[in-house]
Amino acid sequence: MNILKVFSDYKKALEEANFEMVFNTLSDDIRWHMGGQGELSGLIVGKKDLEERFSEFAQRSNGTFKVITKWAASNDNFVCANVISIAERNGSKLNMNGIDLFKIEKDKIVEVWTFAEFQSDEDEFWKKDR
């Protein structure tokens, strides 16, 4: 299987909100580097902790959070994706351009780094007490 196929399966599952399939594309010891300095930023290790973090995004946005991939390109065992993060929360809207970088080995996503165009704005949007 090539890495763009793995990424395509992840992207399709994410767009369909099929989180069982999303997690099937990830290694058990996934390392997810959530960009920024906010409450939800930092390194998440393992599917269980990542699922908890994703649940927090869903809760804080009343289920409106989604990520749309505009384009993706691959090189060696990496996929770089231009994404838009969208959510609504307490009368505010998030519509943030970003780049997500995926490391894929043995047909599984093993590591992800996320980058927002305006990270401090995204950090502010996700504050719990907002």
In the predicted structure, residue 1 carries a pLDDT above the cut 70: no
| Structural domains of the chain sorted by starting position, each given as residue range(s) with its CATH number in brackets | 3-125 (3.10.450.50)
Summarize the chain as % helix, strand, coil (round to 5).
Answer: 30, 45, 25
Mean pLDDT value of segment 121-126? 95
In the predicted structure, residue 125 carries a pLDDT above the cut 80: yes
In the predicted structure, residue 108 carries a pLDDT above the cut 80: yes
What is the per-residue pLDDT for 76? Answer: 93
Mean pLDDT of the chain: 95
Mean pLDDT value of segment 13-20? 90
Identify any residues that bridge with 78 across adjacent strands, giving them in sequence order.
75, 103
**Residue 96 contacts residue 118 (beta carbons within 8 Å):** yes
Give burial (CB, 10 Å; 0-12/13-18/19+) of 95. Answer: exposed
CA distance linking residue 45 with residue 91, whole number of Å: 32
